[in-house]
Amino acid sequence: MTSYQPEPYKIKMVEPIRLLPREERQKCIEKAGYNPFLLRSDEVYIDLLTDSGTGAMSDRQWAGLMLGDESYAGSLNFYHLEETVQALSGHQYVLPTHQGRGAEQVIFPLLVERQGQYVLGNMHFDTTKAHIELAKGRAVNFINAEALDTAKEHPFKGNFDLAAMEQFIQDKGPDSIAAIVTTVTCNSVGGQPISMDNIRGAYEIAKRYDIPVVMDSARFAENAYFIKQREEGYANRSIPEIVKEQFSYCDVFTMSAKKDGLVNIGGLLAVREDKSLFQRCQALVVPLEGFPTYGGLAGRDMEALAIGLKEVVDEDYLTQRISQVGLLGKLLQEAGVPVQSPIGGHAVFVDVGRILPDMPKTQYPAHAFAVALYVESGIRAVEIGSLLYGRDPETGEDGLSDLELLRLTIPRRVYTDNHMRYIADSIARVYAKRDQIKGIAFEYEPPILRHFTARFRLVD
- Supply the residues annotated as catalytic: 72, 125-126, 216, 218, 259, 451
**CA atoms of 28 and 22, how far apart (whole Å):** 10
**CA atoms of 394 and 349, how far apart (whole Å):** 30
449: buried, middle or exposed (CB in 10 Å: 19+, 13-18, 0-12)?
A: middle
Q: Is the dihedral of CA 337, 404, 256, 44 positive or negative?
A: negative
**CA atoms of 26 and 375, how far apart (whole Å):** 6
**CA atoms of 453 and 237, how far apart (whole Å):** 44
Element of type H or E holding 162: helix 162-172
Q: Please give the backbone phi and psi of residue 258, each rounded to the nearest 5 degrees, phi first.
A: -75, -5
Q: Which residues make beta-bridge pairs with 380?
A: 47
Q: Is the dihedral of CA 22, 25, 30, 35 positive or negative?
A: negative
* Helical H segments across 8-125, by residue range: 22-31, 59-65, 76-89, 100-111
Backbone Cα Rg of the chain: 21
Cβ atoms within 10 Å of 213's Cβ, excluding its own: 22
Q: Single out the residue of 403, 393, 363, 370 nearest to residue 137, CA to CA.
A: 393
Query: Which residues have CB under 8 Å from 34's CB, separation 6+?
Result: 371, 440, 455, 456, 457, 458
Q: Is the dihedral of CA 234, 237, 240, 244 positive or negative?
A: negative
Q: Which residues make beta-bridge pairs with 391?
A: 398
**CA atoms of 170 and 176, how far apart (whole Å):** 10
